[in-house]
Amino acid sequence: MNSILFDCRHLERFKEGISRYTINLIDTVRNQYKVYLLFNNAKYILPKELDWASINRVHMPPPISSLAIFHENSYLLYILHKLKPDIYHAPCNTGLPIFKVGHTKYMVTLHDLIIEYFPESYRPLSRLKWKIQLPYNIRNADHIITVSNFSRQLLINRYKIPPTKISAIHHFLPSSFLDPQKESKDALYQLKARFSIDTQYFIYHGGFRSYKNVSRVIDIFNQIRMRSQTRYQLCLMGPQNTDFEINVRPFIKNSIFNKDIVVTGFLSDHELQLLLSDAICHIYAAKMEGFGFAPLEAMAAGIPVACPMSSSLPELLGDAAIWYNAQTDSGEVAELIMSSCLINKRRNEYIRKGREKIKTFNKETFLAKSINAYNTVLHNTHNKVE
């Protein structure tokens, strides 16, 4: 059985889409390969999806700073030399060492180029690390995976990557999202009471970096309220971190409807599904996405999704979303959402299309394409994964 060492160090720091991707990937292929997981923290508590008896954990001391390239390369090269895995896969954009070790093949998942197009969304050290590491990650990778055809073409054009070296493999939604357990009305009532949600509400869930454009979501909500006699609330779900304080809180404070804007903080998948399922509509406004987990999760919960027609989103959502032009005035977007979501017949049609669309993001397709990618590397076939 071939072996794969996965770089999981980012799981200790992030709880966003890339972490979900990594967990899903490992959980999907773990029965096909001998799997090793690389962490910095020996006491890190594994997500339940990765907490299996046969797990092989590998640890390297944490770096002194986020720019510790020498540290990363010296320890990582030692681990690769000792373990001799057939593949070393870095699923979080960077993480490959500068040098090759023995017969080990290198793979990296490059999710997007948001850090280059919207650098203000990231801290200076993160931007510098990306600038240093990305060129040799692309150079040293035996194969690159990305998460949408949009991202694949962007990477090919920007970095002149041979098309046969890079493959697009869409994420999948876990079965818990595709076939959620039916919850009692009491569970939903208690969760809404916890956050003082006492009327119909619109919802956003995701990160709060500036490119997520949550200020636009708030502006659209303001416009909906000004055009309606009904009192609605807006529920914002995501981590209340520095990005939230800089990019979101000032816009909440400036909203004349700020008392009806609810912030939940980070929620479990179970709580996320519950709140999504009872919302009127998921309002999304990201300026760029390599792949959008959040709109698909909202569709899986059975609610319409309003999205800007940009980056990978049309590729992923097709005709199942309520589309608007990113340059369209927020008032016009508000009217579009109201006419699409406050009339049952139209709303139900978007819900139906959404439920059909999410069926295409399934585990079986993801597994087949992932195995194909690994076999491409192991057998040096150099064919684009289809």
219-230 pLDDT tens trace:
999 999 999 999
d(CA 294, CA 208): 13
Both 254 and 164 in one domain: the answer is: no
Both 73 and 196 in one domain: the answer is: no
pLDDT value, residue 64: 64
Both 97 and 199 in one domain: the answer is: no
Both 14 and 37 in one domain: the answer is: yes
pLDDT value, residue 379: 87
Assigned domain for 52 exists:
yes
Return the CATH number at 91.
3.40.50.2000
Both 157 and 243 in one domain: the answer is: no
For residue 22, name the pLDDT band (cuts at 50, 70, 90). Answer: very high
Assigned domain for 75 exists:
yes
270-302 pLDDT tens trace:
899 999 999 999 999 999 999 999 999 999 999
Average pLDDT of span 19-25? 90
Contact 360, 173 (CB under 8 A): no
pLDDT value, residue 15: 62
Average pLDDT of span 187-205? 96
Furthest CA-CA distance within the chain:
69
pLDDT at 88 over 90: yes
34-62 pLDDT tens trace:
999 999 888 888 877 777 767 799 998 87
For 9, 94, 96, 138, 202, the CA distances from 134, given in Å and listed in that order, are 17, 6, 9, 6, 38
Is residue 77 helix, strand or coil?
A: helix
Assigned domain for 385 exists:
no
Percent with pLDDT over 90 in the chain: 73
**Which of 214, 364, 380 is closest to 286 using CA atoms?**
214
348-382 pLDDT tens trace:
999 999 999 999 999 999 999 999 999 999 987 55
Contact 126, 44 (CB under 8 A): no
d(CA 128, CA 134): 10
Both 354 and 366 in one domain: the answer is: no
118-144 pLDDT tens trace:
999 888 988 888 888 899 999 999 999
Percent with pLDDT over 70 in the chain: 94
Both 352 and 304 in one domain: the answer is: yes
d(CA 150, CA 117): 14
* Strand 261-265 to 56-59 pairing: unpaired
pLDDT at 11 over 90: no
pLDDT value, residue 126: 84
The residue type found at 152 is R
Both 92 and 227 in one domain: the answer is: no
* Parent domain of 109: 3-172+362-378
Both 126 and 198 in one domain: the answer is: no
306-352 pLDDT tens trace:
999 999 999 999 999 999 999 999 999 999 999 999 989 999 999 99
Both 219 and 117 in one domain: the answer is: no
pLDDT at 384 over 60: no
pLDDT value, residue 269: 85
Assigned domain for 384 exists:
no
* Strand 87-90 to 56-59 pairing: unpaired
DSSP labels, 222-247: HHHHHT-SS--EEEEES--SHHHHHH
Assigned domain for 386 exists:
no
Q: Which residue's entry shows tokens 């700020």?
A: 258
Contact 251, 218 (CB under 8 A): yes
The 8-class DSSP code of residue 373 comes to H
Both 107 and 231 in one domain: the answer is: no
The 8-class DSSP code of residue 49 comes to G
φ, ψ at 185 (rounded to 5°):
-65, -25
d(CA 246, CA 243): 5
The length of the chain is 386
Number of domains in the chain: 2
pLDDT value, residue 365: 94
DSSP labels, 260-294: GEEEEES--HHHHHHHHHT-S-EE---S--S--HH
Both 134 and 249 in one domain: the answer is: no
Q: What residues contact 131, with CB distance under 8 A and at least 6 apart?
A: none
Mean pLDDT score across all residues of the chain: 91
pLDDT value, residue 385: 47
Assigned domain for 193 exists:
yes
Assigned domain for 371 exists:
yes
d(CA 99, CA 53): 33
Assigned domain for 318 exists:
yes
**Which of 303, 323, 299, 300 is closest to 311 using CA atoms?**
323
Reported as half-sphere exposure (CB side, CA atoms, 13 A), residue 14 has a value of: 17
pLDDT at 67 over 60: no
